[in-house]
Amino acid sequence: MVDNWHPKPGDRFVRRPRAKAHPLRRVLGVFGLFSAGYGNVGSSIYYALGLVALIALGATPIVLLIAGIFFIFTALSYAEGTAMIPEAGGSASFAHRGFGDLCGSVAGSALAFSYIVTIAISAYTVPSYLGYFWEPLKDSAAVGTIVAMGIVFFLMWLNIIGVKESSILNIAFAVLDVATQVLIIILAIFFFFGPEPQVFFQNVVGNWPTTSSLVFGVAMASLAYTGVETVSQLSEETKRPSVNAPRALILMIVVVLVLFSGISVASLSTMTPAELASEWARDPVAGIAYRLSTTIVPGETIAGLFLAAVLKALPSLVAILAATILIIATNAGLMGISRLTFALGKFRLIPSTLSGVHSRFKTPYRSIILFSSVAILLLVPGFFGPGAFGQLGRLYVFGSLLAFALAHASILRLRIRHPELPRPFKLRGNIKFRGHELPITAILGLLATSAIWLMVVATQPYTRWIGFGWMAFGAIAYFVFRHRKQLPLIRTAEEGRASID
């Protein structure tokens, strides 16, 4: 039979025909992979800073730092897992290999939920930044929510037809974003923190939260480090993934921690926690840029005139850059769903109805429509007030922390169950347990993410019901599918076939 199959736009991200062994072309290097991951992690600071300030108040820089330490643990676990298992699926792939299909399904549902909320919260934040050019986008809950829904709907349609990520475009926006944030940090430190450091410390000490708010603030601060999963999802499209994926993750750790620390200091040097958590909650970086542009008075020298031009353009640059990166992050969430669907379908963890592709566009259109529709539904509370913003943040914490906890647990399980697997990147700092080397960072990461996740579940009814409702939907779909296909419910499908044969 003659193979007349040819890849179409978007096909390399999703489903592959049986005639092809590996349609996902390995084209990404370290910087391409870093820029794709940073596009998701870096975009989160544009809304996470305000969300954290709503709860942690003056302790915002502290809780971001604590969450950053947990982010290091998580990124290192993903580095070992991705180098060892370079395939799309991320934590779902790790759990599938470590614990079997049932745990892989749970991780897949949690990961899908985090992608859905990423889509919703990224789109929801775009109108606030564009409100610099037209105020109703920021001031009107109805207008902002409608625009956010429109962004999700448009990107849903675009992903059904099929789109390709541009590595060059990702790198360009990552460089521009890093440069802009560095500029903001330098201006804030030179003109605000340097001359009057007491203002920053007064904002921190004078607005210290309660102990419960401090702990919950750490949970919300994990929102600032979204996107670490992206590197694993792109591993099948990466050149030498066993080497380049860990390098990209380590580079992302350094850049993200430095920038997020600087931005958090810049925020409380230029405004009070109350202002950050109210007027600028949905567009905190825009608030910093506005304060810089309206407070700094340049001199009449050539350097002063140049600085005046930079300050005048800064709010517009931040508005356009933030909106663009957030739209890219929204689209990356939809593309992540395509890759996740590809992986879960390959492992036979989801019904063929969801993993099936469009006959013409070769994209998993049913799953894209389903997940986009859920994201749009999550935006509905936006019509009734600003409380929807905090609800979306808590929902993301539910899905992402559960996926992170399972990733840590899977790395530990694989150390015990499959010590013979090659580990091009192996975590150091191990402890001996029954003859096995267990990484301390994975143990600490598992304990921290599990504890924070349990706290969110216990204290947030809306998050608990929506989150567990989604997980129940995933569990029902998994059990019905596996029962109809006569596949084992807990063990892997390969083990089930071997026992039958």
**Domains plus CATH for the chain?**
23-500 (1.20.1740.10)
- Give the DSSP H or E segment for 412: helix 387-417
Is a pLDDT exceeding 60 seen at residue 201?
yes
The mean pLDDT of 407-434, rounded to a whole number, is 90
| CB hemisphere CA count around 479 (13 angstroms) | 6
H helices, E strands: number in the chain: 20, 2
If phi over 0 gives left and psi between -120 and 50 gives alpha, with beta otherwise, what is residue 435?
A: left
Partners of 436 in the beta sheet?
433
* C-alpha to C-alpha distance for 203 and 208, rounded to whole angstroms: 8
* C-alpha to C-alpha distance for 176 and 285, rounded to whole angstroms: 15
Could you tell me if 460 and 394 are in contact, meaning their C-beta atoms sit under 8 angstroms apart?
Answer: yes
DSSP 384: G
Residue 499 pLDDT class (50, 70, 90 cuts): very low
**Given this model, what pLDDT does residue 13 score?**
38
SS (H, E, C) 128-146: HHHCCCCCHHHHCHHHHHH
SS (H, E, C) 82-104: HHHCCCCCCHHHHHHHHHCHHHH
Residues in the chain: 501
Write out the two tokens for 472.
Answer: 């129940």
* C-alpha to C-alpha distance for 268 and 49, rounded to whole angstroms: 11
Lowest mean pLDDT among 37-41, 123-127, 180-184, 216-220: 37-41
Could you tell me if 355 and 367 are in contact, meaning their C-beta atoms sit under 8 angstroms apart?
Answer: yes
* C-alpha to C-alpha distance for 440 and 23, rounded to whole angstroms: 37
Partners of 238 in the beta sheet?
28
DSSP reduced 3-state for 437: strand
The mean pLDDT of 212-217, rounded to a whole number, is 88
pLDDT digits (tens, 9 = 90+) for 375-407: 999 999 999 877 888 899 899 889 989 999 999
Partners of 28 in the beta sheet?
238
- Give the DSSP H or E segment for 438: strand 436-439
Predicted structure pTM score: 0.86
Residues contacting residue 5 through CB under 8 Å, at least 6 positions apart: 17, 19, 20
- Give the DSSP H or E segment for 427: none
